[in-house]
Structure 1
Amino acid sequence: MMKLNKILLLVIIGFIALGGCSNSEPDYSKFYQEPGSTQEKPDEPDSPGLADSKIKIMSFNIRYYNSDDTEDKAWNVRKAAFVPMVEEQKPTIIGTQEIRKTQFNWLKNNWTDYAYIDGNSTKIVETSGAPHNVNEVFYLKSILEIVNKGFFCLSDTPDKVGVGWSGSPRVAEWVIFRIKATGKKIFFLNTHLSLKTDGDYDCRSKEIALIKQKVEEFNTDNLPVAITGDMNAKLEDGLFETWLTFLSDSRKNAVVSDDIASYTGFGKSAQYPDHIFVSGFNIECFSTINKVYNGVTYISDHYPIMATLSFE
């Protein structure tokens, strides 16, 4: 009987020790390491194809192609990490920022499990006379199909091509996806907010207000919402109060999360400008992907961030 009791005790301890997204009381002691230090990641569930009620949303500023970036910062070095990162993390949707045409062509040829929204934001930026620096949405074509899609400029004339409040073209691209296995739909939007601040006038406040207006306009069926992007602001800056009336920040509200800075400037900084805001989902897990892939320490000057979501 004593031996049986010991075995039962070991089994119970084993269950308690299991971590990951199922842990309702995560250990947050690891969060208080120095910015930039490597932290263990919460265990992620398998590919969403194995659990049709779950999806993984990634936001990733890939760092635009810049000929001044040399050595390990150069695109031709960094791109070696892109395929293994995506193959391991298996995001269902990737909202990217700062893609230029050379990078876009490479990604669509190498992320072979993914389709892309294609072109609308590219056309806006090209017509505006800027470099080919756009936000593109990639999605697992085996899991999702497009129901509707569109784009708008972050400006006083959102339906017309032109520069925004910051003096450069800024675009939001939106998609309604259907999950093939279940028929469930989601509303997804990806963007890259402005940097420019002029005294008390902050053009990001106008961009945020416009995005909320457009989500309400296009999401007529009140579908679950996910918004990704490099917002060039941390949550504590107070710019997101308009969104927080109907959205939740996934980093802050996930059952299991981390506190790893998403912007590193290739190891020279520690900031939190990248976000995934959602509504209509349970936020199971949030992670900042700071792993080394194919010997590449910094996949970009930003780390990808990812939220694992289940439908409410």
Structure 2
Amino acid sequence: ILSCTSETTTVMSYNIRYDNKWDEKNSWSTRKESIVRIFEKYSPSFIGTQEGLAHQIHYIDSVLGKYDYIGVGREDGIKKGEFCAIYYESDTYKVIESSTFWLSDTPEKVSIGWDAALERICTYGLFEHTMNKKRIWVFNTHFDHMGEIARIKSSELILERINDLNNFSGPIILMGDFNSLPNSKPTHTILKQLEDAFNISLNKPKGPKGTYNGFNEDQPIEKRIDYIYLKNIDALNHEHIDDRLENNNHISDHLPVMVDLIIKP
């Protein structure tokens, strides 16, 4: 299936859990080194993180030497509130353009959309491979946990934005925490135009069925709400990574989703 003109690259989506002082045994300070270790161990070309606050994003950036990142805080468009950051291997890719929009009827300004509880964003970039000059769009988002209408409308808005931007019909990655189960309306909306890497992976997906663990180390992980969607790209491997802390606690309340991609010539 791999032709000599195809190339593979790896992408990861990871809700790293915001630094919440009430987490106690699951505090950011006990988890942060293990989160960085995951990135170093699997070494994806692109990492989309959700929930990271500015100091978390900066910590990861300071430790990961080979990555730069794009992203802003959702509460002010600069650094306040949670980011949907995209880290990228800066030796391999350069950013051609990037931006963030809000999941609302007024996407160009800081806003809360529809029945959502909080500001929600999508950060994206157009990346160019430094050697072969191939370009790829990468989108990273985090849908609202409360607003049912907001999740559907967010799906529609992101697809609209993808269609507006992607005038060269190039490869697209959309990843994130969608707070939506596989059989839900937001998921079906996205699947009208993009493919779920879990469904199209050439090799059988690895790891637990779900991605949300709620920091419960003993329960089976069934709830799949984190996804990597693709267009004009094939998926070779798909994995929900269930690495743990030394005491068997989870590293975050979500598992990272990792996909090996085949970018078509």
The TM-score with structure 1 as length reference comes to 0.77
Q: 2:251 aligns with which of 291, 299, 309?
A: 299
| 1:299 to partner: Cα distance | 1.1
| Contact 1:170 1:194 (C-alpha < 8 Å) held by counterparts | yes
Task: Provide Cα deviations, 1:155-203, integer angstroms capped at 9, x if missing partner.
Answer: 0111122222214211111110111121111111000011124xxx621
Say whether the 8 Å CA contact 2:10–2:258 is kept in structure 1.
yes
Cα deviation, residue 113, structure 1? 1.4
Give the residue type in structure 2 aligned to 1:63: R
1:57-72 equivalent positions in 2, closer than 5 A: 57-71=11-25
The equivalent position to 1:258 in structure 2, one of 181, 201, 206, is 206
Q: Match for 1:207: what amino acid?
A: S
Flag the 1:84–1:164 CA change in 2: closer, same or farther, 3 A.
same
Give the length in aligned residue pairs.
256
**Structure 1 segment 264-275 matched on structure 2, within 5 A:** 264-267=213-216, 270-275=222-227
CA distance in 2, matches of 1:55, 1:85: 17
Task: Compute the displacement of 1:295 (Å).
Answer: 5.7
Contact 1:52-1:182 within 8 A present in 2 as well: no
Q: Which runs of 5+ in 2 are unaligned?
A: none
Query: 1:147 touches 1:177 (CA, 8 Å); kept in 2?
Result: yes
Identity over aligned pairs, percent:
26
Question: Does the CA-based 8 Å contact 2:152-2:185 persist in structure 1?
Answer: no
Note if 1:116 corresponds to 2:69: yes
Q: 2:52 aligns with which of 99, 104, 111?
A: 99
Equivalent of 2:126 in 173, 176, 179: 176
Deviates more, 1:79-88 or 1:228-237: 79-88
Q: In 2 relative to 1, CA 248–254 (structure 1 residues): closer, same or farther, beyond 3 Å? A: same
Q: 1: CA distance between counterparts of 2:8 and 2:77?
A: 38
Alignment of 1:19-34 (within 5 A): none
Partner SS for 2:198: helix
**Which has a greater percent of helix?**
1
Gaps of 5+ in 1: 1-20, 23-50
Structure 2 CA distance for partners of 1:52 and 1:83, relative to 1, 3 Å? farther
CA distance in 1, matches of 2:67, 2:197: 24
